[in-house]
Amino acid sequence: RLVLLDIAAEAVQRELEAFRPEVVFHQAAQASVPVSLQRPGHDARVNIIGTIRLLEMCLAAGVRKVIYASSAAVYGTPCYLPIDENHPVYPLSPYGISKLAAEMYLSVFRKHWGLDFTVLRYANVYGPRQDALGEGGVVAVFADRIRRCEQLTVFGDGEQTRDFIHVHDVARANLAAFSSAGGQVLNVSTGRATSVNQLVTMFKRLTRRVPSVTFAAARPGDIRHSYLDNSKARSELNWAPQYDLETGLAQTLRAIGLLTGDKH
């Protein structure tokens, strides 16, 4: 049953009390770094106050555990790679701060009121049905542009790297956390770095199209290299990513009709 409500609305309480969930998967967020820089108050209202209200309502409804979608944005500029969960946290944006603040509230709610949690810090998530508009991830944006026969814009020299994790692997990590890793903070990632240029090459190979690529100025504040150690999630959740990037991209492209056949 789908009920569309603001995360902080009183009506959420009624829904929770009627449904009595054992576990809540908390994915709702103001999820854009640029929007958080334009509207930090809005970001904090949704991500911090919204999370606090949700936790209060979960307690009242007897929820056992909250599984929280956090982000690599909490780490800020990497001091070392791959980033593990012991890496210092120093967020560079209001979004990173709000995700970290929500993590800290989860910890306090567990300590004082016994509401269990698992925090999952996602790397760069991609997959079918990702929104290419607004702040869509680079995979969704490139796929959409190729579909429209438009040129691709790469910010900087394209040698910056990210850790691209398929949404199905993220969903499986959430399900695994249902009954394990209480009170834990875990990276959900592939542990592999892929440059934007490598991504463009994969797109060309898979789609057999040669989109024109332009290079624009690097975006201020963009992190040069980022990939996350996932060994803790592997052991705590008995989980491992199943998609390599090429397979995941092929499946994502097939979903929007950019690839036919079952070759990939």
Ligand X SMILES: NC(=O)c1ccc[n+]([C@@H]2O[C@H](COP(=O)([O-])OP(=O)(O)OC[C@H]3O[C@@H](n4cnc5c(N)ncnc54)[C@H](O)[C@@H]3O)[C@@H](O)[C@H]2O)c1
Cα–Cα distance for residue pair 31/125, rounded to 1 Å: 12
The binding site for ligand X (CB under 6 A) comprises 6-7, 27-31, 46, 50, 69, 71, 122, 124-125, 131, 137
**3 versus 60: smaller Cβ distance to ligand X:** 3
Q: Please, which residue, 103 or 114, has the CB nearer to ligand X?
A: 103
CA 259 to chain centre: 25
Residue (103 or 236) nearer to ligand X, CB: 103
Give the whole-angstrom CA distance, residue 12 versus residue 51.
Answer: 12
Least distance between ligand X and beta carbon 22 (Å): 21
- Spatial CA neighbour of 259 closest among 210, 205, 211, 207: 207
CB of 6 to ligand X, least distance (A): 4
Bridge partners (DSSP) listed for residue 161 = 195, 225
User: Shortest gap between Cβ of 15 and ligand X (angstroms)?
Assistant: 12
Shorter beta-carbon distance to ligand X: residue 75 or 122: 122
| Shortest Cβ 210–ligand X spacing (Å) | 27
Chain centroid to CA 57: 24
Catalytic residue IDs: 95
Closest listed residue to residue 136, CA positions, set 35, 4, 246: 35
Beta bridge partners of 55: none
